[in-house]
Amino acid sequence: MQKGQSREARDRFAETIYDFIRGVKTSQATWAQGMSTLEEYTVRRLRTVGTNPCIAVMQWAYNLTLPPSIWNHEAVVAITREVAISDFLWNDIVSLRKEIDDGDIDSAIPVMVWNEGCSAQVAVDRCVKMVEESWARLLEAETRLVKAHAQESEQTRRDIETLVGGCKDVLVGHMVYSLKIPRNMAAAKMNEKDCSFCIIL
Residue 188 — pLDDT band, cuts 50, 70, 90? low
Specify the pLDDT at position 190.
61
Mean local confidence (pLDDT), 89-109: 82
Angle at 99 between CA 201 and CA 24, to 5 degrees: 140
Q: What is the pLDDT of residue 179?
A: 77
DSSP symbols for the chain: --SSS-HHHHHHHHHHHHHHHHHHHHHHHHHTT-PPPHHHHHHHHHHHS-HHHHHHTHHHHTT----HHHHTSHHHHHHHHHHHHHHHHHHHHHTHHHHHHHT---SHHHHHHHHH---HHHHHHHHHHHHHHHHHHHHHHHHHHHHHTTTS-HHHHHHHHHHHHHHHHHHHHHHHHHHHSTTS-TT-EE-TTT--EE---
Model confidence band, residue 161 (pLDDT cutoffs 50, 70, 90)? very high
Taking residues 182-198, what's their average pLDDT? 63
Q: Is residue 181 pLDDT above 80, yes or no?
A: no
What per-residue confidence (pLDDT) applies to 94? 86
pLDDT at 191: 67
Residue 10 has pLDDT above 60, yes or no: yes
pLDDT (average), residues 162-186: 84
Average pLDDT, the chain: 87
pLDDT at 106: 79
What is the average pLDDT across 80-102? Answer: 88
Q: What is the pLDDT of residue 177?
A: 81
Provide mean pLDDT across the span 172-197: 71
Residue range 29-77, pLDDT digits in tens? 776 677 789 999 999 999 999 999 999 999 988 999 999 999 999 999 9
**pLDDT in the model for residue 196:** 65
pTM of the model: 0.86
User: pLDDT for 111-160, tens place per residue?
Assistant: 999 999 999 899 999 999 999 999 999 999 999 999 999 999 999 999 99
